[in-house]
């Protein structure tokens, strides 16, 4: 596949977007409401002012899409590729810009989540009903957050309280005997807000793995979230959040005749205190905890359990030096602890990070500079940095360029797993550069970005002791820093909202290579296109999503190729009254039979109906 062949496809998609939506229409009232993001720089700024590649998914976007889980919501989004081992609740792998699934940092309300043993995040268990908005930052951010942020950062914000009293309820039924129910309340005044949200998600599912124990692999998830905030005076405020999701998943594994089940818990808790001693100085102090617990069950008997607890305390200072200069300096300390029936050589490690960032925001030119040093008791010091430049050609067009380094710390499995762990491993390290151009005319937004990432010291597990081609029972596999990857990519998107129409389209093209072999990295689709179009007609609205993903390789040797696929999803919405809404959607309209991972099934044509209530 020639990388240069990506360019005509991208330009064609952009031209298509312009030809359909640049016809002068009156701008929407929403055009004045630019989304505010905090993940790219750890403080609030508009998307248009950000020097990072950012996508924001709001609660309104989630409800309009009628997505039942994060995999459906993320599929086809710019720079993102997500696959699963079967249906709902089955393990997910999410790739940002072609990097590994362990190269994405995931935060929930600022709390780092994921397994410290596997190094992955259980996206399949994060309840979509509890989410207020999602910020996706594509590109390295270790200079602010430390380990994992090689490909990017995904931050999920749970629902929060607001002024006045409000309540919401929603019930969804659909194929595979699926049921989703959520309910919540919120109350508050000018100084204090409180909210609580409950969720229930159950499906009988379908057989996850082809030719393996052909039964339905069901899924159950119950969740709760709560938020409390209080403003003591004009200088001091407190914000607290809590989320807990408990899941039970039936799945297929090695032995077809065995019934496998996993019981998992995802939990986050955070408290953040803000103090403003002077108009130009804000101090933020906080503590939080993330938990990832997994229990494996075979034929009703508990087999293995792996539990991660991440405790963090941090202090951040934001100082306004002048009208166009903002300086930030902070420190955080994180302790990762694991408990398991497996006897790890070490069960905890501490990491202390010191970071600073300086931004110059001028009339035409914006510059950002950030550095961080992490001191980890497992591997010592790791320094990372990021520099970004933006230049406004005019009131609507801006050029962007950035360069950043990042790292991924070895997991507890990599370092300490009995007989296999390698305590001498170094962190995986990356360097990324990006150039782009974006526009924000009166009718919407558009962008084109090219990026290049190299990753050194990739950790690879290979047979090291007692390796036998015929008898694998005594083989011992161990990890080492041996691999190197080079990833090049091109992204383009256009979106608009005028009168009664909404449209968004994007193209993501990625060329991920193993430098040592010249082969493509496995499991990534090389081409992805997504188009969303919605039309409002009085109390009725209708929409369509078209997704195309090109082929991918299922193995490292590139001998097993998974064909590309296309999806057409339809949706409709009817506003019964000010409080009541009825929604209907049809996924995979053409009933395409496709695979995201070799030998695992995907959902067929599926219909879902939702009745929701909202009192503001």
pLDDT tens for 590-605 read: 999 999 999 999 999 9
Average pLDDT over residues 483-493: 97
Q: How far apart are CA 110 and CA 287, in angstroms?
A: 10
pLDDT at residue 465 in the model:
75
Q: Quick check: 513 and 486 in contact, CB under 8 A?
A: yes
pLDDT at residue 5 in the model:
40
Dihedral angle over CA of 372, 378, 380, 383, nearest 10: -20
Q: To the nearest whole percent, how much of the chain has pLDDT over 70?
A: 94
Q: To the nearest whole percent, how much of the chain has pLDDT over 90?
A: 86
Cβ neighbourhood burial of 519 (10 Å; 0-12, 13-18, 19+): middle
Give exposure, 287-309, as e/b (b: 16+ Cβ within 10 Å).
Answer: ebbbbbbbbbbeeeeeeeebbbb
What is the band of 469 on the pLDDT scale with cuts at 50, 70, 90? low
The SS3 of residue 141 is: coil
Q: Is the dihedral of CA 415, 94, 219, 250 positive or negative?
A: negative
The SS3 of residue 128 is: helix
**What beta strand segments (E) does 252-396 contain?**
260-278, 281-298, 301-322, 325-340, 348-361, 365-376, 380-392
How many residues make up the chain in this entry?
616
Q: Flag whether pLDDT at 38 surpasses 70.
A: yes
pLDDT at residue 81 in the model:
98
Q: Flag whether pLDDT at 256 surpasses 90.
A: no
What is the band of 32 on the pLDDT scale with cuts at 50, 70, 90? very low
Domain containing residue 531: 3-615
Closest C-alpha to 425, from 437, 433, 438, 416: 416
> What is the CATH classification number for the domain harbouring 499?
2.40.170.20
What is the band of 24 on the pLDDT scale with cuts at 50, 70, 90? very low
Q: How far apart are CA 568 and CA 547, in angstroms?
A: 7
Q: How far apart are CA 60 and CA 117, in angstroms?
A: 35
Closest C-alpha to 602, from 71, 85, 73, 72: 85
Q: Flag whether pLDDT at 470 surpasses 90.
A: no
First to last CA, the chain: 53
Dihedral angle over CA of 322, 324, 329, 335, nearest 10: 140
Radius of gyration of the chain (CA): 24
Number of compact structural domains in the chain = 1
The model's pTM: 0.93
pLDDT at residue 18 in the model:
36
Q: Flag whether pLDDT at 2 surpasses 50.
A: no
Q: How far apart are CA 92 and CA 80, in angstroms?
A: 13
The residue among 470 and 146 whose pLDDT is bigger is 146
Question: How confident is the model over 159-169, as pLDDT tens digits?
Answer: 999 999 999 99
Q: How far apart are CA 533 and CA 71, in angstroms?
A: 20
Average pLDDT over residues 173-192: 97
The SS3 of residue 351 is: strand
In sequence order, the 6+-apart residues with CB closer than 8 A to the CB of 182 are 129, 168, 169, 170, 197, 198, 199, 200
- The 3 state secondary structure assigned to 187-234 is EECCCEEEEEEEEEEEECCCCCECCCCCCCCCEEEEEEEEEEEEECCC
- The 3 state secondary structure assigned to 421-454 is CCCCCCCEEEEEEEEEEEECCCCEEEEEEEEEEE
What is the band of 540 on the pLDDT scale with cuts at 50, 70, 90? very high
Give exposure, 329-341, as e/b (b: 16+ Cβ within 10 Å).
Answer: ebebbbbbebebe
In sequence order, the 6+-apart residues with CB closer than 8 A to the CB of 266 are 113, 122, 125, 126, 243, 244, 245, 247, 291, 292
Type and span of the H or E element at 91: none
Average pLDDT over residues 397-411: 97
Q: How far apart are CA 335 and CA 322, in angstroms?
A: 36
Question: Hey, what are 497's tokens?
Answer: 């909202």
Instruction: Say which DSSP state 547 is in.
Output: E
In sequence order, the 6+-apart residues with CB closer than 8 A to the CB of 171 are 179, 180, 181, 610, 611, 612
Average pLDDT over residues 231-247: 97
Count of other CB atoms within 10 angstroms of residue 53: 24
Q: How far apart are CA 98 and CA 75, in angstroms?
A: 14
Q: Flag whether pLDDT at 23 surpasses 90.
A: no
In sequence order, the 6+-apart residues with CB closer than 8 A to the CB of 559 are none
Mean pLDDT of the residues in the chain: 92
Q: Flag whether pLDDT at 522 surpasses 60.
A: yes
Average pLDDT over residues 172-186: 98
Question: Hey, what are 208's tokens?
Answer: 């996850």
pLDDT at residue 471 in the model:
61
Instruction: Say which DSSP state 603 is in.
Output: -
Question: How confident is the model over 276-334, as pLDDT tens digits?
Answer: 999 999 999 999 999 999 999 999 999 999 999 999 999 999 999 999 999 999 999 99
The strand pair at 606-615 and 580-587 is best described as antiparallel
Q: Flag whether pLDDT at 368 surpasses 50.
A: yes
Q: Quick check: 162 and 404 in contact, CB under 8 A?
A: no
Average pLDDT over residues 544-571: 97
pLDDT at residue 472 in the model:
61
pLDDT at residue 47 in the model:
86
pLDDT at residue 33 in the model:
61
Q: Flag whether pLDDT at 477 surpasses 90.
A: no
Q: How far apart are CA 281 and CA 276, in angstroms?
A: 6
Q: How far apart are CA 122 and CA 84, in angstroms?
A: 11
Q: How far apart are CA 367 and CA 594, in angstroms?
A: 45
Q: How far apart are CA 555 and CA 521, in angstroms?
A: 8
The SS3 of residue 574 is: strand
Cβ neighbourhood burial of 234 (10 Å; 0-12, 13-18, 19+): exposed
Question: How confident is the model over 41-87, as pLDDT tens digits?
Answer: 999 998 888 999 999 999 999 999 999 999 999 999 999 999 999 99
In sequence order, the 6+-apart residues with CB closer than 8 A to the CB of 99 are 150, 151, 152, 430, 453, 455, 485, 487, 512
What is the band of 249 on the pLDDT scale with cuts at 50, 70, 90? very high
Q: Quick check: 410 and 427 in contact, CB under 8 A?
A: yes
Dihedral angle over CA of 377, 270, 236, 318, nearest 10: 50
- Measured CA distances, 442 to 17, 22, 28, 503 (Å): 15, 10, 9, 14
Average pLDDT over residues 454-479: 80
Give exposure, 560-579, as e/b (b: 16+ Cβ within 10 Å).
Answer: eebeebebebebebeeeeee
């Amino acid at each position: 596949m020639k990388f240069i062949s990506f360019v005509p496809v991208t330009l064609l998609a952009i031209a298509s977007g312009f030809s359909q939506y640049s016809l002068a229409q009156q701008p929407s009232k929403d055009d004045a409401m630019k989304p505010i993001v905090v993940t790219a720089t750890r403080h609030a700024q508009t998307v248009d002012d950000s020097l990072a590649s950012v996508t924001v998914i709001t609660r309104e976007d989630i409800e309009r899409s009628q997505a039942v889980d994060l995999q459906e919501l993320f599929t086809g989004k710019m720079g993102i590729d997500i696959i699963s081992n079967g249906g709902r609740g089955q393990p997910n792998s999410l790739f940002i810009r072609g990097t590994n699934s362990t190269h994405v940092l995931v935060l929930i309300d600022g709390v780092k989540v994921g397994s410290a043993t596997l190094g992955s995040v259980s996206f399949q268990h994060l309840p979509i009903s509890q989410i207020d908005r999602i910020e996706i930052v594509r590109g390295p951010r270790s200079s602010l957050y430390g380990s994992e942020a090689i490909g990017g950062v995904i931050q999920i914000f749970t629902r929060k309280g607001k002024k006045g009293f409000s309540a919401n309820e929603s019930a969804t039924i659909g194929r595979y005997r699926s049921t989703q129910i959520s309910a919540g309340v919120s109350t508050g005044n000018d100084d204090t807000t409180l909210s609580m949200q409950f969720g229930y998600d159950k499906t009988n599912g379908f057989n996850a793995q082809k030719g393996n124990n052909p039964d339905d692999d069901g899924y159950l998830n119950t969740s709760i979230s709560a938020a409390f905030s209080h403003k003591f005076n004009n200088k001091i405020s407190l914000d607290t959040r809590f989320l807990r999701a408990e899941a039970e998943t039936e799945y297929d594994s090695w032995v077809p005749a065995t019934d496998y089940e996993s019981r998992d818990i995802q939990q986050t808790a955070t408290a953040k205190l803000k103090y403003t001693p002077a108009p130009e100085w804000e101090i933020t102090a906080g503590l939080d905890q993330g938990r990832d617990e997994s229990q494996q069950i075979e034929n009703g008997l508990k087999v293995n359990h792996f539990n991660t607890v991440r405790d963090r305390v941090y202090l951040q200072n934001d100082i306004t030096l002048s009208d166009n200069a903002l300086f930030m300096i902070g420190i955080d300390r994180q302790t990762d602890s694991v408990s398991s029936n497996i006897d790890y050589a070490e069960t905890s490690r501490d990491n202390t990070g010191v970071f600073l960032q300086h931004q110059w925001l001028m009339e035409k030119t914006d510059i950002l500079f950030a550095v961080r040093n992490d001191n980890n008791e497992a591997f010592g010091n790791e320094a990372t940095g990021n520099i970004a430049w933006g230049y406004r050609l005019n009131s609507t067009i801006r050029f962007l360029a950035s360069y950043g380094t990042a790292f991924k710390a070895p997991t507890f499995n990599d370092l300490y797993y009995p007989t296999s762990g390698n305590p001498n491993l170094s962190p995986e390290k990356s360097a990324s550069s990006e150039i782009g151009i974006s526009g924000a005319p009166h009718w919407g937004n558009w962008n084109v970005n090219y990026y290049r990432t190299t990753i050194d010291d990739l950790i690879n597990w290979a047979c090291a002791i007692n390796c036998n081609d015929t008898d694998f029972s005594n083989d011992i596999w161990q990890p080492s820093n041996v691999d190197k990857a080079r990833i090049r990519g091109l992204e383009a998107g256009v979106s608009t909202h005028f009168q009664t129409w909404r449209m968004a389209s994007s193209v993501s093209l990625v060329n991920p290579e193993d430098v040592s072999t010249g082969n493509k990295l496995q499991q990534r689709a090389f081409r992805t296109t997504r188009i969303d179009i919605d039309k409002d007609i009085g109390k009725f609205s209708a929409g369509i999503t078209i997704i195309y993903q090109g082929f991918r390789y299922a193995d490292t040797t590139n001998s097993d190729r998974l064909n590309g696929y296309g999806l057409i999803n339809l949706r409709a919405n009817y506003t019964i009254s000010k409080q009541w809404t009825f929604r209907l959607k049809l996924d995979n309209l053409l009933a395409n039979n496709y695979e995201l991972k070799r030998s695992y099934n995907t959902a067929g044509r599926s219909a879902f109906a939702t009745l929701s209530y909202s009192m503001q």
